[in-house]
Amino acid sequence: MPLSNRKSKIASLLLLAALALLALAPLFFTDGTEGKTREAVVTVDGKIIRRVPLARERDEIFTVSTPYGENRIAVSGGSIRVEGADCPAKICAKSGAISQIGEVIACLPHKLLIEIKEIK
């Protein structure tokens, strides 16, 4: 086998190895929010009422009473949602569950905000 051919074979093997490493890279460098510790920060009128760590095994239901009305909030499986509220449109309850950093549920009539943040 001519030397040049062998060289290019080695080069292509190296390339394959590099590609394989790239394919495996997501296993070592998890991006997104999966590996991060998150908490839900509940505010009313801009004041923090409660911080709830969103661990997967945590299940909790609590009620937030605001001067404007009440929201029943449910935490389960690493996500949080408004389960019930006495606001007129119930947009907060209809928003469903949130779990990713930066996601927000707002109940405008109650000036209530739930925001997912990373715990640092």
Closest CA relative to residue 88, chosen from 59, 72, 110: 110
Tokens of residue 19, six digits: 């590609």
Minimum CB distance to Zn ion smaller for 80 or for 107: 107
Instruction: State which residue, 87 or 114, has the beta carbon closest to Zn ion.
Output: 87
Q: Is 92 in the site for Zn ion (CB under 5 A)?
A: yes
Residue 91: what are its φ and ψ, rounded to 5°? -65, -35
Stretch that binds Zn ion, among 19-27, 56-64, 85-93, 94-102 (CB under 5 A): 85-93
Residue count at the site for Zn ion (CB under 5 A)? 4
Task: Find the binder of Zn ion among 87, 98, 105, 114 (CB under 5 A).
Answer: 87
Stretch that binds Zn ion, among 4-12, 32-40, 42-50, 99-107 (CB under 5 A): 99-107
Choose which of 64, 73, 107, 116 interacts with Zn ion (CB under 5 A). 107
54-62 — which CB contacts under 8 Å span 24+ positions?
54/78, 54/79, 54/80, 54/99, 54/116
Q: In what order do the strands lie in the sheet with 47-53?
A: 47-53, 38-44, 112-118, 104-107
The answer to the question of residue 113 lying near Zn ion (CB under 5 A) is: no
Q: Which residues bind Zn ion (CB under 5 A)?
A: 85, 87, 92, 107
